[in-house]
Amino acid sequence: MMNMTPVVKQLLIINIIFFIGSQLVPISYEYLAMFFPENPSFQVWQPITHMFMHGGIMHIAFNMFALVSFGSALEHFWGGKKFLFFYISCGLGSALLHTAVNYYFFEDTINILTANGYHKADILNILSQGKIDTRWQTLVSAAQFDGFTSAYIGTVVGASGAIYGLLTAFAFMFPNAELALMFIPIPIKAKYFVPGLLLIDLFLGVKGTSLFGGGGTGIAHFAHVGGAITGFLMMWYWKKNQFNNNRWN
């Protein structure tokens, strides 16, 4: 904690303030968590604010531990402005991929329903009231229906997407640094650890989609993957343009 860099410290404080505030005022989730774009509760600021909301003490504790551990090292080399730009960009990339995957499966079910005589406006109107038409369940599989309703009703919170971007950048810059998880105490080099973690997320994300009929885990796995992909693309671009060593301060 003694080596915590300024922007990382500020992000840590903001996340803690948001967490305490959300526990004291639970209704804040309705405004600051990220909803599906077709849901009336969606607001344009949610792709940003959802990064500072967390679902529980373990959720925020893990993310903030990773922010301090990996973020401080990156900010030290990049400077605060560049680090913050990278962090927010990865969070937005995370939200984009998660929403795109949800949108694909949501529209897939919408297309099936409209092909069977339902109108999209009527479907959205029923969903917006927190209701469903049980006849829909006879036209799609149980997994498709679950993905359809959870995409519309569910919310996304957490800094995990941005954190995965930091993990990717750390592995990019320090590939031979050894990392370990609490339940895997064996040190693994970052260049193997981070891709392995992403493969697990990708597998669980794909398994949980209606396409494969798997059950969801309650974790936005594609948000993690989206943050990592955004981080990788930014690092690749910066390296290609010999820009990754330049500070913005």
Identify the pLDDT of residue 209.
56
The two tokens of residue 85 are 């730009």
- CB of 164 closer than 8 Å to CB of 228: yes
Vertex 173 angle, CA 172 and 174, to 5°: 100
Identify the pLDDT of residue 235.
93
User: How many CA within 13 A on the CB side of residue 121?
Assistant: 0
pLDDT in tens, 174-188: 888 877 665 566 777
Q: Which residue type sits at 195?
A: P
Handedness of CA 179, 180, 186, 192 (dihedral sign): negative
Q: Report the chain's mean pLDDT, rounded to a whole number.
A: 87
pLDDT in tens, 73-115: 999 999 999 999 999 999 999 999 999 988 988 999 999 999 9
Question: What percent of the chain clears pLDDT 70, i.e. is strictly above it?
Answer: 88
Identify the pLDDT of residue 245.
58
pLDDT in tens, 58-67: 999 999 999 9
Cα separation, 248 vs 66, whole angstroms: 23
User: Is-above-0.75 flag for pTM?
Assistant: yes
